[in-house]
Amino acid sequence: MVALLGCVGCGAGDSENLGLEQLAVTSISTPAGFLGMSPTGSYLLTADIDMHGAALQYANTFSGTFDGGNHTIRNVSQNTGSAGTGLFGLLLSATVKNVKLNNFHLQGGAAGGLAGSCQSAIVQNVAVQATTTTISGRDAAGGLCGVMNGGTISNSSATGSVSSSAGNAGGLVGWASRGRGSDAPTLSSCSVAQMTVTGATESGCMMGFCQEPVFTRASAEATVSSSGPAGGICGTMNGGSIINSYAKGSVTSTSAEAGGIVGTTGLGQLSEAGVNITISYAQSTVTANTFAGGIAGYGFGAFVEDVYVVGNVTGTAAVGGLVGREDCTDNAGWVLDKGIYRGDVRDRFRPGAWSGVLGDFTDCIARWELTFFDNQLDQSGTYLVHSVSQRPESTTALKSPIAPAGGVYCGNILPETRCADNSFGDPPWNAGTSSQHHVLRNMPGPNVQPQ
């Protein structure tokens, strides 16, 4: 049925964004209706679709609007050699929203629960549900998109299992980069939980490989493993930013770097700036064959500020509770500021030694200060000592207040010479009470921060 509707199923502002007061929307309620959609049409799903294990895929390039009406498409099974395997093969400047995908079993080249490839697409309120969902790609595999070039994913989630036999694997996206018009791949208010992610080259709870992405309010909880770089949010991240986000679970790389948030970081292609990780935390067990860190295993020109980590970190040669190793050039400096680590750092290369918050670094253009570790919970030996920047404190002192600074959020540049987390108008930290460790404020759900 086709009708002129006042933007039925659209989110706030959709009509204005499209420059239309009304949209011609076609209602569909069957698999045949879905498969028969026009590549540029606008559709509303009015009933759940059960495929009973059929290999359903919209094979055309879809550039229209699909509103799932909060209905579910379930029981899809595909095993193809196609480059784009998923509910859609290719989403090109399309909008897909308000749909649940349940019990999908997909195998192919670039495989994603929603689409094999998402190019400058808008994905809103899409959920891959049920732990029985499995997505396997030969090149790139993601819970929603195997490959993502630009576009946005918001208020979306995934559970289940994602793996790539020869490429990148991510809980939401396997491989991501800039798209048409150089728009950055953007994820906001997305979550991954009860997920297992396994990749051959890079693996991440949100993305396996990501070029200049923007993450805001990401919630990641998974078991992540790879023979290449592995991260709690992204395995390899070049440029871009992560803010107000967290990762929980375990992260393992059998032959490369691993980090509770990002495995390895580099410079962006267009901005030529390093990764920015701020107001974020990890509660993870991190194990790497080489560099390992609670936030990042290896950082090149990385900006890491207002972070904390709870969990053990194990690696080789450069291991830190926050960052394993920081490198830089005269044009790309690094920052490690205002952070707390609580756990046990173990470096296989230096048995019995402990590296604190930062394992090793290149001292070019850098700013490193106000990072703390618990000297009662960690190993007693040290091999990297930085008296001003790397501060050992007791478990009690790492609660409220931290001695001697009074807090990790400290304005130490005139005229802001005061310290103490709760002395600012809107500080990112909450010092809590004398029985509670510091936590970051205004973090996303659904999980409660460790205390």
pLDDT higher than threshold 70 for residue 19: no
- What pLDDT does 350 receive? 80
Could you give the maximum distance between any two Cα atoms of the chain, in Å?
72
> What average pLDDT does the chain have?
86
Neighbour count for residue 364 (Cβ, 10 Å): 15
- Give me 228's structure tokens: 């290449």
Instruction: Flag whether 9 is in a domain.
Output: no
pLDDT tens-digit series, residues 189-222: 999 999 999 999 999 999 999 999 999 999 999 9
Alpha carbon distances (Å) from 253 to 136, 142, 280, 315: 19, 18, 22, 10
Q: What is the pLDDT of residue 65?
A: 98
State the Rg of the chain over Cα: 23
Helix or strand holding residue 4 (H, E): strand 2-5
Backbone angles phi, psi at 331, to 5 degrees: -100, -10
Which of residues 298 and 389 earns the better pLDDT score?
298
Q: Residue 449: pLDDT above 80?
A: no
CB 409 within 8 A of CB 338: yes
Asked whether residue 5 carries a pLDDT value surpassing 60, the answer given is no
Work out the percent of the chain whose per-residue pLDDT is above 70: 84
- The 3-state DSSP class for residue 328 equals coil
What is the tens place of the pLDDT at every residue in 332-356?
889 999 899 888 888 888 877 776 8
Query: pTM, whole model, 2 decimals?
Result: 0.91
Q: What band does 12 get if pLDDT is binned at 50, 70 and 90? A: very low
Per the CB < 8 A criterion, the answer to whether 205 and 197 are in contact is: yes
Report d(CA 315, CA 290) in Å as an integer: 5
Which pLDDT does position 22 carry in this prediction? 42
Please report the pLDDT score of residue 375 as a whole number.
77
Q: Which of 215, 208, 329 is nearest to 278 (CA)?
A: 215
With bands split at pLDDT 50, 70 and 90, how would you rate the model's confidence at 314? very high
Question: In 3D, which of 139, 183, 127 has the Cα closest to residue 165?
Answer: 139
- Mean pLDDT, rounded, for 93-108: 95
- Amino acid letter, residue 380: S
β pairing state of 145-149 and 115-119: parallel
Asked whether the beta carbons of 325 and 298 are under 8 A apart, the reply is: yes
Q: Locate 224 and state its tokens.
A: 């992540």
Tally Cβ neighbours within 10 Å of residue 404.
Answer: 9
The whole-number average pLDDT for the span 371-378 is 78
Q: Which pLDDT belongs to residue 180? A: 78
Give the helix ranges, DSSP H, for 62-144: none
CB atoms within 10 A of CB 189: 17
Q: What angle do CA 197, 439, 263 make, to 5 degrees?
A: 30
In a domain, 113, yes or no: yes
Per-residue confidence band for 419, with pLDDT thresholds at 50, 70 and 90: low
Mean pLDDT value of segment 216-242: 97
How many CA atoms, within 13 angstroms, populate the side-chain half-sphere of residue 378?
A: 32
pLDDT of residue 170: 97
DSSP 275-290: -EEEEEEEEEEEEESS
Question: Is a pLDDT exceeding 90 seen at residue 25?
Answer: yes
Over range 10-33, report the average pLDDT. 65
The number of C-alpha atoms within 13 Å of 353 and in the hemisphere containing its C-beta is 18
Sequence-distant (6+) residues with CB within 8 A of 363 are none
Measured CA to CA, the distance from residue 185 to residue 179 in angstroms comes to: 7
The structural domain count of the chain equals 1
Structural element, H or E, at residue 128: strand 122-129
Q: Which of 176-185, 253-262, 321-330, 353-362 has the highest mean pLDDT?
A: 253-262
Q: What pLDDT is attached to residue 417?
A: 58
In a domain, 49, yes or no: yes
Residue 408 placed within a domain? yes
* pLDDT value of position 385: 60
SS3 content of the chain, % helix, strand, coil (to 5): 5, 55, 45
The answer, yes or no, to whether residue 20 has pLDDT greater than 50, is no
Around 229, how many Cα atoms within 13 Å sit in the side-chain half-sphere? 26
Residue 60 contacts residue 85 (beta carbons within 8 Å): no
Q: Does 84 map to a domain? A: yes
Q: Where are the beta strands (DSSP E) in 311-375?
A: 313-315, 319-320, 323-327, 334-342, 345-347, 358-361, 366-374
Residues of the chain with pLDDT > 90, as a percent, come to 60
Q: Which two tokens stand for residue 163?
A: 């793996």
pLDDT tier at 179 (50, 70, 90 boundaries)? confident
Spatial separation of the C-alpha atoms in residues 275 and 282, rounded to whole Å: 17
Query: Rounded to whole angstroms, how far apart are CA atoms 384 and 387?
Result: 10
pLDDT tens string 269-309? 876 789 999 999 999 999 999 999 999 999 999 999 999 99
Residue 3: pLDDT above 60? no
Domain that holds residue 89: 39-440
And the tokens for 355? 């590296």
Q: Is residue 147 part of a domain?
A: yes
181, part of any domain = yes
Under DSSP, the state recorded for 83 is S
Q: Does 17 score more than 70 pLDDT?
A: no
Domain membership of residue 20 (yes or no) is: no
**Cis bond upstream, residue 39 (ω within 30):** no
Residue 429 has pLDDT above 80, yes or no: yes
Return the amino acid letter for 140.
A
- Angstrom CA distances, 157 to 102, 218, 228, 239, stand at 12, 10, 25, 24
